[in-house]
Each structure stands twice: as structure tokens, then as C-alpha cells.
């Protein structure tokens, strides 16, 4: 059975989650042809909020690359997560249809999920459905069975199907102009899925290599994502490094790749994740291409095990996805709805997965993140209607197109230049201001006494129209020529 996530599929708690492709999906107004991926990506040397792909612009500067897009749990392995299907083998994911969705909405970024558990009980569903996933990085060999009733894993032999699929799907994404962040480990499941460790490949009954990473015997196995200075810890780490090296060698020739160490491991995993970032850097130093490695928020339902954003910013990661921590006393900024304009020290990918995965998102959320210099990921399956999901997908595509239209490398977020507080600016040269309300607003051009070309973008229609030229030298008032949220673009007249 092929699982098509964008057709009419009813789920007991997440009813189709807003994904309906047949008869609903259309190319948004103004959608551009995909821009071929180039790279590998680097942090932009002049503006490390953004990536650089090596492209030199007409003025001799490096082009800044902005990434934004959707991601979904089923992108690499087929599994029943949140489907409540209980099928074994699990339904096949229609990857081509997902790429169609990304491309039609103008997205250029996605996240490839990795699932470590071949079987688990999903504790977050009403029915506590048993779920399965396949394929996995290691071969299952011999006559002795693991706890899931299938041959045990040999953690020294790689499964060709898994790596063939990984390589093929990265290649397909690149051909569509889409960058991918490849997740290497999935830490959430060990923490939160019912009976998770019982079926994990690094649990003793499930492998032929004598590996039992759950050294304290508590049945949770968090040590598998912990840097443990024990004999078993070192053996476990060596096998994990061999797997990571195999991924790196499999994908090294692709330009459209980034790496994510693991999804939402608690703070106990911080040193281990930092080690893996450094291992990637060292390993690829001897390979033709080098790719960026990131760390996402150290989440745990157990507050004692939950990390904080400072751990991300102090890490060796090249990029990070923060959590929505409570605002500091007297400070209104948060990564979810009102990101700070100041550079936090790392390139930020604002991922709805870590900022309230099922909270409502729309164009407004995307534009506010963009105006504060943050890249965007939207986790699919978050909404109950196609209309709501369509709004955030549309907003992502809008920001990707505008990022290509402006000199992004020269622009910085500002909360003071536009009265709306949402503005990217290269003062005296170029301004991009977002107005979420249908009201007049001002731009401070007092120190920019030249003439500027004006254009207006409507979020609702997806269209751009010219406005009357404006002269600087003072604070100027603007009013969009259309109803609804608007974006004002000012560019210095040649």
C-alpha cells in the first residue's frame, strides 16, 4: 500500500492534517521556476545569518542564500508515525508527491527525518497504536530473532536499500532546487515513545554484536545518545561514527546537503551531539566536499532533562533550531512570534517542530521570521484543514522569492527603521518592510537623502505593483494601495 499524504486520508487525531493534493494543490500566483541548488553551502562571511553558495553577484560580493520549506516525518523511512495504521510492513510514502508540493509552493528547503525504532507504541495517539518503520541503516541477518520478531541487526553491516534510498532522494530534491538537512539520529523516540528501548537496534536482544547501550538497566536507553566514557559507551560510539561516516561518504558529492545530528535529544545528549558535529567536520576534512552540521533544540517532556537555547549557541554547530523558551524578564522577544533583531551568534532555522508544532501558522508567521533574519521550516501534519496549511506554505514561498529579489547579504533586521518593527534594511540603499495591518506606516529615511524606487507586494494576491518614487531625507509615510497585509520594497534609484 502506498501512503499518499496529500490525499483524503482520515486519522483519528490528525484528520489528514491539512494535506490534500488531488483537486486542491495548485501553483501559487507568481511561483517561479526552481533555482538549481549550488554549493555546498557555507555561512556567509559578511552576514552569517545567511548561507552562501559561492555565487558572486554583479558588484563582486557573495550572494546570500535564504532557505525555507516544509518537512514531514515520512521523508526517508516508511512508517506509521501518527497514522495509527498499525501495518507491518508500513505504508509506502509517496515522496514524489511531497516534492511536487514543495516545488509548487516555491519551497527550497526540507528536513529528512531518521527513525531509529523499527517498532514502537505511539504514546501520543488516543489508541496507543503500535507502529513500524523501515528500512534501517543496518542489515538484519541470521536465524535468531530480535524483539520485533525479525532477524537481529548486524551493526557492522550496512543495508544497501537504506543508503540507496537516501542518496536517490537527496538527488531528486537537488534536481528540484531543494536543499535537505539529513537527520542522522532520532532522539525523541527513545525519550517518549512507549516501550521504545525494547525494540531499539542498540538494545542487547536486537543485535548480534553484543551491544547493550542501556548501561544502567533502567529500560530507557538514553545512554545511546550520551557521551559515555565506558567500554560499552566507546563501542557504541564507534558504531555510531561508522554509520555517520557511511552517510557522509554516500552523500559527499551532493551540493544540496546539510546535516542535523538528532531530533530533540534532552540536555543529556548535548556533549554527544557536539562530538558528532566535530566528527563530521573532521571526517569531511579529508573528503572532496564539506557540509554544514546543525543541532536542534534539546527538548524533553521531563523538564529536568530539557536543555536551553544557550546550549545551542555555545555549541560547535554551524546552524541551530531554537526552542521557544519563556522570554527573559522585561524582554518581549521569543523565537516563536517575536524573534530578536540582534544576531544570536548562530544561523537560525525557526522550525515549527520546536516552537509549538501544532500551533496555527500562516503568512504572517513566515514574514516575521524572515524580517528578523531567520530561515524557516514548517512541520506538515500540524493542521486540521488544507486552508490553514496552505497559508503557511504560501508564505514560505513568498519569502523565498523575495530573498532572491533583494541584496540580502547587505541587509540586517531592524525594529526601528519601520514603524511596524518588521524590516530588513541596507540603510541608504534598500529596505523591505512588512506591514501586517491595513494601516499607514512610516520608514525612517532621514539619513538617506536620495530617491528610491517603490514597489508593493500583496500577501493575499501574491502580486507586486509599482508605487510612486520617494525622496529620502526625512521620515516618510506609506499606505499600501491594496487591502490586507503588505510588503513595501524601496531600492535606491540608479
Q: What is the CATH number of the domain that holds 140?
A: 3.20.20.80
Tell me 267's DSSP state. G
Do 90 and 208 reside in the same domain of the chain?
yes
Do 184 and 284 reside in the same domain of the chain?
yes
As a whole number of angstroms, the distance between CA 294 and CA 347 comes to: 9
For residue 66, give the H/E element and its range.
Answer: none
With the C-alpha atoms ordered 39, 42, 46, 48, is the resulting torsion angle positive or negative? positive
- Name residues whose C-beta falls within 8 Å of residue 442's C-beta, 6 or more positions apart in sequence: 418, 419, 475, 476, 477, 478
Span between the terminal Cα atoms of the chain, in Å: 59
Do 248 and 373 reside in the same domain of the chain?
yes
In the block, cell 516501550 appears at 195
pLDDT digits (tens, 9 = 90+) for 409-465: 999 999 999 999 999 999 999 999 999 999 999 999 999 999 999 999 999 999 999
Please report, for residues 158, 258, 275, 487, the alpha-carbon distance to residue 245 in angstroms, rounded to integers and kept in the order given: 11, 14, 14, 45
Domain span at 480: 414-492
In the block, cell 503500535 appears at 130
As a whole number of angstroms, the distance between CA 124 and CA 10 comes to: 17
As a whole number of angstroms, the distance between CA 426 and CA 420 comes to: 17
Per the CB < 8 A criterion, the answer to whether 267 and 257 are in contact is no
As a whole number of angstroms, the distance between CA 399 and CA 485 comes to: 14
**pLDDT for residue 350:** 97
Do 284 and 214 reside in the same domain of the chain?
yes
The two beta strands, 319-321 and 293-296, are parallel
Do 332 and 434 reside in the same domain of the chain?
no
Q: Is 237 left (phi over 0), alpha (psi -120 to 50) or beta?
A: alpha
Cα angle at 54 between 49 and 60, to 5 degrees? 90
Per the CB < 8 A criterion, the answer to whether 324 and 308 are in contact is no
Q: Go through the chain and tell me how many residues it has.
A: 494
Tell me 268's DSSP state. G
* Domain stop point among 364, 388, 409: 409
C-alpha cell recorded at residue 312: 545551542
In the block, cell 547501550 appears at 213
As a whole number of angstroms, the distance between CA 393 and CA 376 comes to: 11
Q: Which residues pair with 405 in a beta bridge?
A: none
C-alpha cell recorded at residue 377: 521550516
Do 467 and 422 reside in the same domain of the chain?
yes
* Domain stop point among 393, 409, 425: 409
C-alpha cell recorded at residue 437: 495591518
CATH of the domain at 468: 2.60.40
Number of domains in the chain: 2
Backbone angles phi, psi at 189, to 5 degrees: -60, -45
Tell me 439's DSSP state. S
- DSSP string over 136-167: -SEEEEEEEE-TTSSEEEEEEEE-HHHHHHHH
Do 320 and 394 reside in the same domain of the chain?
yes
Do 461 and 331 reside in the same domain of the chain?
no
Per the CB < 8 A criterion, the answer to whether 44 and 50 are in contact is yes
pLDDT digits (tens, 9 = 90+) for 302-356: 888 999 999 999 999 999 999 987 544 455 688 998 999 999 999 999 999 999 8
Do 333 and 440 reside in the same domain of the chain?
no
Per the CB < 8 A criterion, the answer to whether 52 and 424 are in contact is no
Backbone angles phi, psi at 475, to 5 degrees: -80, 125
In 3-state terms the chain splits into helix, strand, coil percentages (rounded to 5) of 25, 25, 50
- Angle, in degrees to the nearest 10, between helices 160-175 and 231-251: 40
Do 78 and 227 reside in the same domain of the chain?
yes
Tell me 199's DSSP state. H
Per the CB < 8 A criterion, the answer to whether 65 and 47 are in contact is no
Do 162 and 200 reside in the same domain of the chain?
yes
Do 348 and 460 reside in the same domain of the chain?
no
**Blockwise average pLDDT, block size 10, the chain, 494 residues:** 43 30 32 71 98 92 96 91 77 93 97 96 71 96 95 98 98 97 95 91 98 96 97 98 98 98 97 98 98 96 91 97 70 84 96 89 96 96 70 96 98 98 98 97 95 98 97 97 96 97
Long-range pairs for 124-128 at CB < 8 Å and ≥24 separation? 124/82, 124/192, 125/12, 125/13, 125/82, 125/84, 126/12, 126/13, 127/12, 127/84, 128/194
Q: Which residues pair with 319 in a beta bridge?
A: 294, 347
In the block, cell 533550531 appears at 321
As a whole number of angstroms, the distance between CA 122 and CA 196 comes to: 9
**pLDDT for residue 386:** 62
C-alpha cell recorded at residue 486: 503588505
* Domain stop point among 365, 393, 409: 409
Amino acid at each position: 500500500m502506498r501512503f499518499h499524504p496529500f490525499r483524503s486520508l482520515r486519522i483519528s487525531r490528525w484528520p489528514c492534517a491539512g494535506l490534500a493534493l488531488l483537486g486542491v494543490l495548485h501553483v501559487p500566483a507568481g511561483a517561479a521556476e526552481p533555482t538549481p541548488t549550488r554549493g555546498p553551502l557555507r555561512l556567509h562571511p559578511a552576514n552569517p545569518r545567511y548561507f552562501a553558495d559561492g555565487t558572486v553577484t554583479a558588484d563582486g560580493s557573495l550572494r546570500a542564500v535564504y532557505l525555507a520549506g516544509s518537512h514531514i516525518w515520512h521523508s526517508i523511512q516508511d512508517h506509521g508515525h501518527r497514522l495509527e495504521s498499525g501495518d507491518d510492513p508500513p505504508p509506502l510514502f509517496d515522496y514524489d508527491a511531497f516534492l511536487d508540493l514543495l516545488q509548487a509552493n516555491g519551497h527550497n528547503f526540507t528536513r529528512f527525518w531518521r527513525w531509529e525504532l523499527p517498532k514502537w507504541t505511539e504514546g501520543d495517539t488516543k489508541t496507543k497504536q503500535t507502529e513500524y518503520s523501515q528500512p534501517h541503516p543496518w542489515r538484519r541477518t541470521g536465524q535468531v530473532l530480535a524483539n520485533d520478531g525479525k532477524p537481529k541487526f548486524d551493526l557492522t553491516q550496512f543495508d544497501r536499500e537504506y543508503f540507496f534510498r537516501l542518496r536517490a532522494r537527496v538527488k531528486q530534491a537537488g534536481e528540484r532546487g531543494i536543499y535537505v538537512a539529513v537527520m542522522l539520529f532520532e532522539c525523541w523516540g527513545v525519550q517518549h515513545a512507549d516501550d521504545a528501548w525494547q525494540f531499539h537496534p542498540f538494545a542487547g536482544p536486537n543485535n548480534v554484536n553484543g551491544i547493550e547501550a542501556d548501561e544502567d538497566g533502567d529500560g530507557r536507553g538514553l545512554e545511546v545518545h550520551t557521551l559515555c566514557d565506558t567500554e560499552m559507551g566507546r563501542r557504541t560510539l564507534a558504531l555510531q561514527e561508522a554509520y555517520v561516516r557511511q552517510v557522509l561518504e554516500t552523500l559527499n558529492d551532493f551540493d544540496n546537503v546539510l546535516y542535523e545530528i538528532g531530533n530533540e535529544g534532552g540536555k543529556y545528549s548535548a556533549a554527544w551531539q557536539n562530538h558528532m558535529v566535530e566528527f563530521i567536520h573532521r571526517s569531511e576534512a579529508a573528503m572532496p566536499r564539506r557540509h554544514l552540521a546543525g543541532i536542534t533544540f534539546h527538548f524533553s517532556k521531563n523538564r529536568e532533562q530539557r536543555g536551553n537555547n544557550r546550549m545551542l549557541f555555545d555549541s560547535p554547530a554551524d546552524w541551530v533550531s531554537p526552542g521557544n523558551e519563556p522570554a527573559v524578564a522585561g524582554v518581549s522577544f521569543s523565537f516563536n512570534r517575536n524573534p530578536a533583531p540582534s544576531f544570536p551568534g548562530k544561523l537560525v532555522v525557526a522550525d515549527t517542530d520546536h516552537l509549538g508544532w501544532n500551533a496555527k501558522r500562516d503568512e504572517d508567521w513566515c514574514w516575521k521570521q524572515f524580517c528578523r533574519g531567520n530561515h524557516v521550516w514548517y512541520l506538515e501534519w500540524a493542521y486540521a484543514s488544507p486552508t490553514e496549511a496552505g497559508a503557511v506554505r504560501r508564505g514560505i514561498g513568498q519569502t523565498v522569492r523575495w530573498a532572491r529579489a533583494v541584496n540580502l547579504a547587505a541587509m540586517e533586521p531592524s525594529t526601528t527603521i519601520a514603524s511596524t518593527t518588521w524590516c530588513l534594511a541596507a540603510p541608504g540603499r534598500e529596505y523591505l518592510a512588512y506591514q501586517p495591518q491595513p494601516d499607514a506606516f512610516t520608514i525612517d529615511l532621514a539619513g538617506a537623502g536620495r530617491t528610491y524606487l517603490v514597489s508593493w507586494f500583496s500577501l493575499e494576491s501574491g502580486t507586486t505593483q509599482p508605487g510612486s518614487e520617494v525622496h529620502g531625507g526625512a521620515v516618510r509615510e506609506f499606505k499600501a494601495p491594496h487591502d490586507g497585509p503588505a510588503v513595501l520594497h524601496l531600492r535606491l534609484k540608479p
